[in-house]
Amino acid sequence: MFVPNARHYLDQEDLEAVVNALQQDYITTGPGVGVFEEEYAEYVGAKYAVAVSSGTAALHLSCLALGIGEGDEVITTPMTFLSSANCVMYCGGKIVFADIDKHTYNISPSEIERNITPRTKAIIPVHFTGQPCEMDEIHHIAKKHGLYVIEDAAHAIGAIYKGNKIGALSDLTTFSFHPAKHMTTCEGGMITTNNEKLYEKLKLYRAYCMTKNPALLENKEEGPWYYEMHDLGFNYRLSDVMCALGRSQLKKVDKFIKRRSEIISRYNEELKDVKEIILPQQKEGCDSSWHLYVIQVKNGRRAEVYTKLREAGVNTEVHYFPVHKQPYYQKNGYENVQCINAERLYSQILSLPLFYTMTDEQQTYVINTLKNILEEK
């Protein structure tokens, strides 16, 4: 039996939405984009949403909208995908890595505060695996020091923090619609905010910083065909076709999360007495959306278990290799950075298969295969 680590789900409704979009007058940026943005903003409880081409684009645009640049420092976790750090470097800023809490695997608020300097401009907390960070503490620190907060919610569509969906709590929140995530637009992302000025800047930078808005034009003598570019923007747009798929997927996302939670509950129940592993914890007041199910393998057996699971057809993964240990960062001033908890966690973690269409038979096979490997001497 082969069990993938992740798998997207498309039904007939999704396919029909895409075909219908392809038959419209606009297949790139048209009216469907705005409709998807409105529906997504409503889903997370935010005033505004901006659809973009990827989660990475969402993070980059967020940094641009906040004016992050040379001399600015931004704090994030090393236990994340590359984009959470790279987005700051794209803008000429400096990323600063703060260690994680060893129980939640999320960035530690006390480590954030310890790394703040006069140059710090923002914090990027990452909701690792879908479990919300300690946002009350992070917001308190941000307010105390006059910092912006960009939540990286690539893992956390539909996650809930103290009764509120992730997406409307901070200055900006970014999401990813990669096929491995809870819902997909093939590739794509979203930025949500309650700040109108940031919203307008995001829309400009998403499309070359180009505008036809008469109120913004510097040269008002030209005709109605005229447009201006006021800064270096990017082509980070999402097409109507992808937005049509996103709208269809959004209708089902709560169902997707519910099924993932059922799979997690069974993993927890059937693996709770296996002494060779440590199961993930969920903090009180947080409802994870469970993008990943990350276990720790004790006694230095992670590589062995990883290899044997894959040989048996169970496609496990490791999320993530700490970003500060990547060759690029090691060659660019981060060779002495230490994040002990993140590095220790990396040495033991495995992500077990988790996806909406995972069958009971597949999960039974994963559980039994893992147990059999761990029982080997």
Q: Do residues 65 and 211 both lie within one domain?
A: yes
Look up the CATH number of the domain holding residue 311: 3.90.1150.10
Q: Do residues 165 and 129 both lie within one domain?
A: yes
Q: Do residues 23 and 118 both lie within one domain?
A: yes
Look up the CATH number of the domain holding residue 48: 3.40.640.10
The pLDDT value given to residue 326: 98
Would you give per-residue pLDDT tens digits along the chain (377 residues)?
A: 999 999 999 999 999 999 999 999 999 989 999 999 999 999 999 999 999 999 999 999 999 999 999 999 999 999 999 999 999 999 999 999 999 999 999 999 999 999 999 999 999 999 999 999 999 999 999 999 999 999 999 999 999 999 999 999 999 999 999 999 999 999 999 999 999 999 999 999 999 999 999 999 999 889 999 999 999 999 999 999 999 999 999 999 999 999 999 999 999 999 999 999 999 999 888 999 999 999 999 999 999 999 999 999 999 999 999 999 999 999 999 999 999 999 999 999 999 999 999 999 999 999 999 999 999 86
Q: Do residues 101 and 182 both lie within one domain?
A: yes
Q: Do residues 181 and 51 both lie within one domain?
A: yes
- Residue 153 belongs to a domain: yes
pTM over 0.95: yes
Q: Do residues 338 and 195 both lie within one domain?
A: no
Q: Do residues 229 and 273 both lie within one domain?
A: no
The pLDDT value given to residue 336: 97
Q: Do residues 310 and 225 both lie within one domain?
A: no
Distance separating alpha carbons of residues 69 and 52, to the nearest angstrom: 21
Q: Do residues 184 and 168 both lie within one domain?
A: yes
Q: Do residues 229 and 291 both lie within one domain?
A: no
Q: Answer for the pair 147, 174: CB distance below 8 angstroms, yes or no.
A: no
Q: Do residues 273 and 302 both lie within one domain?
A: yes
- Residue 2 belongs to a domain: no
**Could you tell me the two tokens for 308?**
């044997």
- Residue 5 belongs to a domain: no
Q: Do residues 127 and 222 both lie within one domain?
A: yes
> In sequence order, which ranges of the chain are alpha helices (DSSP H)?
12-22, 31-44, 55-65, 83-90, 109-114, 135-145, 196-206, 240-250, 253-271, 302-311, 327-330, 340-346, 360-375
Residue 243's closest CA among 33, 22, 11? 33
Out of 186, 221, 250, a domain closes at 250
- Residue 133 belongs to a domain: yes
Find the domain containing 53 and state its range. 12-250
The pLDDT value given to residue 313: 98
- Residue 266 belongs to a domain: yes
Out of 250, 279, 300, a domain closes at 250
- Residue 3 belongs to a domain: no
Give the number of domains in the chain.
2
Out of 225, 250, 275, a domain closes at 250
- Residue 101 belongs to a domain: yes
The pLDDT value given to residue 47: 98
- Residue 7 belongs to a domain: no
Q: Which is it for strands 120-124 and 228-229: parallel, antiparallel or unpaired?
A: unpaired
Neighbours of 336 (CB within 10 A): 7
